[in-house]
Amino acid sequence: MKILKEFALGILWAALTPLLLVVIAVVAVFAIGNFFYEFVLMVIHFFQGKKLFPPFEEDIKAYKILKRSIEEEEKKEEAKPAPAGPVYVQANYFTGTPPGMPPFPGDPRIGNPSSPYGVPPSVPPVPPPPIENREVPAIENKEGGDDQ
């Protein structure tokens, strides 16, 4: 149906094409006069120091209104407080050795005279506690194990 409608409109417009050509010829005569009129206006604007085709007053007003509304939107966005997000407290275990505890063996400040924290008193390295001999419980070999 759409194709038939397009076909019918095409026939109608083709039948109206001679009338359209007549109207175009009339508008072309107007276009010649309009060309010289706009050309004279352009020359006047040039000698007045304005742009050749200055924007219309209505366009300037519309531009100001749009710009003001955009600036107001931006101000509203800036005025909104930043949402308070979750605060993660990162525990830093390497700021120093808690009192009563032996220094971490890998702490570079041990024995380093240029360290801003100074040279802690030399403490002999403490050997790790011995692993007690304990019986390891046997793992029961259940059915369906990896031995299959």
Partner 1 sequence: MMNLFISLSETDKRALIILVILLVVFLILIALIGVAVRKTMIYQSKRADTMMHDATITHVVDTPKAFLNLGRRKNNRLLYRQSIPAFLLALLATIILIIGNLVNGRWGDNIFAVTGELFFAYDFDSAIVHVFGIPLIGNWPAVIHSPEFHIENLYIYMETLFYVAAIIVEAVACQAYISRWQMLHSRARTVFSKSLDGYNASDDIKVKRDKPLPPSD
52 binds partner 1 (CB under 8 A): no
Least distance from partner 1 to the Cβ atom of residue 40, Å? 11
Question: Which residue in the block uniquely carries the two structure tokens 């955009």?
Answer: 70
Least distance from partner 1 to the Cβ atom of residue 80, Å? 26
- By beta-carbon proximity to partner 1, the closer residue of 53 and 94 is 53
35 binds partner 1 (CB under 8 A): yes
Least distance from partner 1 to the Cβ atom of residue 75, Å? 19
What DSSP line would sit under 69-133, residue for residue?
HHHHHHHHHHHSPPP-PPPP----TTS-PPTTSPPPTT-TTTT-TT-TT--PPP-PPPPPPPPP-
Count other Cβ atoms within 10 Å, centred on residue 63. 11
The interface region with partner 1, picked from 11-19, 78-86, 123-131, 135-143 by CB under 8 A, is: 11-19
- By beta-carbon proximity to partner 1, the closer residue of 31 and 123 is 31
Region 98-127 residues binding partner 1, contact defined as CB under 8 A: none
**Burial zone of 120 (CB within 10 Å; 0-12 exposed, 13-18 middle, 19+ buried):** middle
Cα gap 52→45, rounded to integer Å? 6
Tell me the residue length of the chain.
Answer: 148
The interface region with partner 1, picked from 9-17, 78-86, 99-107, 113-121 by CB under 8 A, is: 9-17
Region 56-95 residues binding partner 1, contact defined as CB under 8 A: 56, 58-59, 61-63, 65-66
Task: Report yes or no: 119 and 113 within 8 Å, Cβ to Cβ.
Answer: yes
46 binds partner 1 (CB under 8 A): no
